[in-house]
Copies of this chain bind each other. A is one copy, B any other.
Amino acid sequence: MGPTPEWEVSEWLGTPPAETLAGLRGRVVVIEAFQMLCPGCVSHGLPLARKVHSTLADEVVVIGLHTVFEHHEAMTPVSLKAFMHEYRVTFPVGVDTPHGHGMPMTMQRWGLQGTPTLIVVDRGGRLRAQAFGTVDELALGGALGSLLAEETVEWSAGRSRGMTGRRAG
């Protein structure tokens, strides 16, 4: 298993934790891919990411990724900035680089199925979970607790505790 491919971000809102994902090697990283007008992102995905951020901020790096693949004209960075202010999103959010009116660059590269998708990267930079839809909080906590206990260098195959994402069609 190789490292997770790099993100491609056209603009950051808030201070990015690093220029590249590789720059976060040694940390457990949670990335919430969302769209500001996606109801499931607003009611479930972002509140969960916010909770990881407030509960485990010292140990887990939380990042938002605005992966706009529909209603592009309604979800511009200007609108996103107002959204983040109103919804008190305090972790940094990168705008996934647009690719015309289709799926943005990182979303394509990572093969995301839709929004919200929660992505977990381990200390070694490896993708360990990618869950589309609803993620169970207890199971997510279990997975993160387990990943935090892993050494950075020494790689153990480690069973991945399943997260109950709702898969698309």
Residues in chain A within 8 A of chain B (CB atoms): 37-39, 42-43, 51-52, 55-56, 71, 73-75, 78-79, 81-83, 85-87, 136-150, 161
Contacts and interface: CB of A to CB of B under 8 A. Distances in A.
**How many protomers of this protein does the assembly include?**
4
- Interface majority SS on A: helix, strand, loop or mixed? helix
B138 A37 contact: no
A155 B105 CA distance: 46
B51 A138 contact: yes
26 contacts: A37-B79, A37-B86, A42-B42, A43-B43, A51-B138, A55-B136, A71-B82, A71-B85, A71-B86, A73-B78, A73-B79, A73-B82, A74-B82, A74-B83, A79-B79, A137-B141, A138-B138, A138-B140, A138-B141, A141-B143, A144-B145, A145-B146, A145-B147, A145-B149, A146-B149, A149-B150
